[in-house]
A and B are shown apart, each in its own frame.
Chain A
């Protein structure tokens, strides 16, 4: 198996592993980009192509296809924020986010949806983002779909996804095929642990190599600590080199100077960097309204093997329950399935002792559905708030209120009904008090009476959005629709923290498309060239 990234390094790409630096260093560039995920990668490619000098700063390690052994024991500590155990402040929501070169795009499950029209319409109507119409955004999404080889998954779904399709069809609930950013995919099912065959068109394989080929510098294991400001300009970024363990500071400091800074560390870390830097925040909006698509889980047992660990992890979805009410009405949810691997499944599943062991013995016959709740539209769905711990590290407060739990109950009911319709012999919500049900009528009654509360009902998230929201005026947001900070003139935000609500779909393509637009505008401005046409 070829490893194109290692081949690139051998050909002279500039990569610095900050854990190997022996002394403090200073770097200069036209643009310093913090973060190498969906936002950072796309920005790096576009700016480098415009002839600008670019440095990409990544807190996580550089790992490439030869390192991806499809083992949870290695992938979670290596590739994820906080070993895939990042949690909200009250520990009620577990958050999956990447932390490696390529960010979450290295470990995501490849689902690639354009920002739904309902979401763009809402932003136009409610957040003053008049420029972000469906028509104006379409060419940017199309360009990134082409760049990242996004296409409808052409093979039959694996059984895990087929259950969702089959159960929904029996109930008259429409489903559709998921577009994925893969090329020559082997249909293995281990996308979440890093793609070992270089099929996934993540930033690790596409935009970052393109930027490095044009001379960009990638610095890994370097934690962005603070921006220094002079008046309304950022002048330098101070950063801390990490040891090989990725946790402790090595003692080496790195200072990065640039004409322009782009933050793309994700919707928890980008606001946190600005908070540590005490950046201007005259309207108290920084780190506020952070959204998660808080996700409920329903697990079912089938007579025949499901083998949810094998095959493209996500290939079927349903938006039926997003369309039952107005976008700001009672919360809707998107249905998808997750791949199951032993650590992910055993730690998510409730219970202990023989009860847990019994369910694990049926691991291969287990099928699981996810309901991703669309947060941030309903007046009572206001999201969470990033704050800093004493040591400067970020933590997200995300209260789960009655408006959410009302949707959660509908979601648990809908998922159980679909699983029984598809032939499940037993279904349980992932909930500490749920004992499981043998048929739909038992489930209907049981779930109706289930006490829904944090740390009782399991809630997870893989989509962090908001905290540096776009708006038309500084009173309503942190940045403009071009991602330009309202108070700091040479600072842009290019990641999921831009979104003023959740997306209502897996967000990677929303980030790619919006950032492709904004990085193109930024490249023109910095290179002194005419702005590209935007509708």
Chain B
């Protein structure tokens, strides 16, 4: 069974890159927030309002929701998710593994969409599972919030007295 780390060592970035990726500052949560701030509008296109203050506020809330979801995963899974975001944060591995050549805030929705499709349909199980993790974290964080339910005609749980 190839772990993500073994795969990266042999398959994409090499041990050196991965080690550098894990050691770069700033703190992991801040780096994750930068990646998520770019991915969330693409995943949630059609669900997020098109613009304005509400949009950025909702993105912030969704990032917080992803943080909360990650904090409830097993410690082993949290470590893997940490490696995934290390990979996406560190410029050389971001370019090689995700094909995103600009920084995340400068990446176009088209480039990000291309990245998502390339991982989703990759021949490497590891990249497919990376896409699936992002998919589940972001949609889970979004639809967990009652303010997203009106748009999908979900009345929320009934009252029980």
Contact = CB atoms under 8 A, between A and B. Distances in A.
A247 interface: yes
A338 to B, nearest CB: 16
Contacts of B139: 343, 346-347, 349, 356
A353 B110 CA distance: 11
Nearest to A85: B73
Size category, A interface: 35 or more
Interface in B69-124: 69, 71-77, 113, 116, 120-121
A5 interface: no
A342 B148 contact: yes
A197 interface: yes
Nearest to A341: B154
A343 B77 contact: no
A455 B129 CA distance: 7
B61 to A, nearest CB: 12
Contacts of A345: 143
B20 interface: no
A352 B157 contact: no
Contact residue range for chain B?
Answer: 35 or more
B16 interface: no
A389 B46 contact: no
A188 B77 contact: no
Interface of A: 1, 69-73, 76-77, 82-83, 85-87, 89-92, 186, 188, 190, 193, 196-197, 245, 247-248, 305, 309-310, 342-343, 345-347, 349, 352-358, 360-361, 363-364, 389, 391, 393, 395, 397, 432-433, 454-456
A247 B157 contact: no
B152 A360 contact: yes
A89 B45 CA distance: 31
12 contacts: A70-B160, A83-B69, A83-B72, A92-B129, A190-B157, A196-B160, A342-B149, A343-B144, A352-B45, A358-B46, A361-B153, A432-B120
B125 interface: yes
Given A71-B157, A72-B144, A91 B44 contact: no
B44 A360 contact: no
Interface in B21-80: 42-47, 69, 71-77
B143 A343 contact: yes
Interface string B126-146: 001100110110011011110
A247 B76 CA distance: 10
Contacts of B157: 69-71, 188, 190, 193
Contacts of B44: 353, 357
